[in-house]
Amino acid sequence: MPETQPLRIGVLFVCMGNICRSPLAEGVFLRKADDRGVADRFLVDSAGTGGWHAGEPADPRVREVAGRNGLALTGTAREVCPDDFVRFDHLICMDDANLADLLDRGAPSQRVRLLLEFDSAQSMREVPDPYYGGADGFEALYAMIDSACEALIIDMLGTAT
């Protein structure tokens, strides 16, 4: 009798344009899952609340920081769609504006959380958008997302076993 594949936990990372914060969070989370040998337990993606950058790669500055940390961000930006509210168990937002936007679009409130809520080491509530800043903002972004994704995957694995 063939073994059935368990359902995967759907995690969607959401920011405004899907070119800085959310694709980096997707890449970091996937690496952490892969390093633990549990990547097959997750369905992971990222999206933006706006469609301005749909079809574009991640911002070159975030790709550079990711590359220095051993990540290749190969996806392209897309806008959140209603199907995401069904496909993903967890809609992980970078800031309060993203969270409010998802709720306004009808996302189930029990599935919508801020990324930094998972990381007790963070003193901030929101992941700041580095888009209009300098290179140091992208370095800080990586450190913040790396720490928060570590806390997130621990939380997910604790509830998914």
Catalytic residue chosen out of the listed positions 20, 21, 89, 146: 21
> Which of 78, 68, 97 lies closest to 26 in space, CA to CA?
78
Known catalytic membership, residue 20: no
Known catalytic membership, residue 45: no
Catalytic residue chosen out of the listed positions 15, 20, 93, 149: 15
Catalytic residue chosen out of the listed positions 61, 129, 146, 149: 129
Q: Measure Cα distances from 95 to 26, 42, 52, 117, 143 in Å.
A: 15, 23, 18, 10, 17
Q: In 3-state terms, what secondary structure has residue 116?
A: helix
Q: How far apart are CA 48 and CA 20, in angstroms?
A: 10
Cβ atoms 12, 92 nearer than 8 A: yes
Known catalytic membership, residue 21: yes
Which residues form the catalytic set?
A: 15, 21, 129
